[in-house]
Amino acid sequence: IPSFCGKGYYGLKVHEAALKRGVKVSGATVHIVDKGTDTGPILMQKAVEVLEGDTPEVLQKRIMEQAEWVILPAVIDKIANNEKF
């Protein structure tokens, strides 16, 4: 979010779109879920470098390991401790 989100962007489709566009940075976002698709307030984001030769699967794995698995627990911890974002 905001580049590769919304209806139809999920799973590998996000990473395929990022690679097709030739971006140098992708990443992960944790946001509040609301009535729209990927329209809720963003709580935390983390960028991950896109490397030459990446496939959607390789990029997805790197984003999970370097971003998703880092920021999701951090957001949960902040919520559990009533901390502000």
What pTM value is reported for the model? Answer: 0.87
pLDDT the model gives residue 12 = 93
Predicted confidence at residue 77, as pLDDT, reads: 98
Q: What is the CATH number of domain 12-80?
A: 3.40.50.170
Write down the pLDDT at residue 8.
79
Ranges of the chain with pLDDT below 50 = none
- Output the pLDDT for position 62: 99
**Model pLDDT, residue 1:** 55
- Looking at residue 2, its pLDDT comes to 62
Q: Which residues of 39-68 are buried (b: 16+ CB within 10 A; e: fewer)?
A: eeeebbebebebeeebebeebbebbeebbb
Measured CA distances, 39 to 2, 5, 13, 74, 81 (Å):
9, 9, 18, 21, 25
